[in-house]
């Protein structure tokens, strides 16, 4: 188990899946104190907005009974306007992640809430930015 908070990076963070499914589930986990080491959610999407705008959008999409729980974790939710296909944007994302508690020592989970047709290119660009390692590119190309 890592002593550092987990960094959950959600690409396509302004989409319906994030708003209706992922954030309610993450809020419920946080209510239960899970994971023990805590987590940060970093929303990534091409749309321009700041951290507070993104937090407000997420909160508004949650059922009202989860507002208090979300408010407790809101400062651990941040937003980066970036396109996974643009190397400079991935560099900016890396700087943001490195600046969070735990930095490079945190476990990073990348969730692709993107159209399936973008998966191969997205993972390739994440590998080029050294966020992930691609050991079996043939398997990925068949996916």
Instruction: Give the global pTM.
Output: 0.88
Q: Looking at residue 136, what is its pLDDT?
A: 59
What does the pLDDT profile of the chain (143 residues) look like in tens digits?
457 889 999 999 999 999 999 999 999 999 898 888 889 999 999 999 999 999 999 999 999 999 999 999 999 999 999 998 888 899 999 999 999 999 999 999 999 999 999 888 888 888 888 888 766 555 555 45
Q: Looking at residue 4, what is its pLDDT?
A: 80
Q: Which has the closest alpha carbon to 38: 85, 95, 100? A: 100
| Range 81-106 burial, b when 16+ CB lie within 10 A, else e | bbebeeeebbeebeebbeebebeeeb
């Amino acid at each position: 188990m890592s002593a550092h908070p987990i960094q959950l990076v959600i690409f396509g963070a302004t989409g319906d899946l994030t708003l209706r499914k992922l954030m309610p589930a993450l809020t419920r986990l946080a209510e239960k104190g899970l994971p023990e080491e805590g987590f940060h959610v970093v929303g990534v999407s091409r749309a321009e907005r700041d951290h507070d705008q993104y937090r407000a959008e997420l909160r508004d999409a949650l059922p009202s009974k989860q507002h208090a729980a979300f408010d407790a974790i809101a400062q651990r939710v941040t937003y980066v306007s970036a396109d996974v296909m643009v190397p400079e944007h991935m560099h900016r994302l890396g700087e943001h992640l490195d600046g969070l508690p735990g930095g490079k020592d945190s476990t990073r989970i990348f969730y692709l809430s993107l159209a399936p047709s973008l998966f191969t290119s997205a993972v390739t660009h994440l590998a080029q930015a050294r966020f992930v390692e691609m050991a079996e590119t043939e398997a990925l190309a068949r996916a």
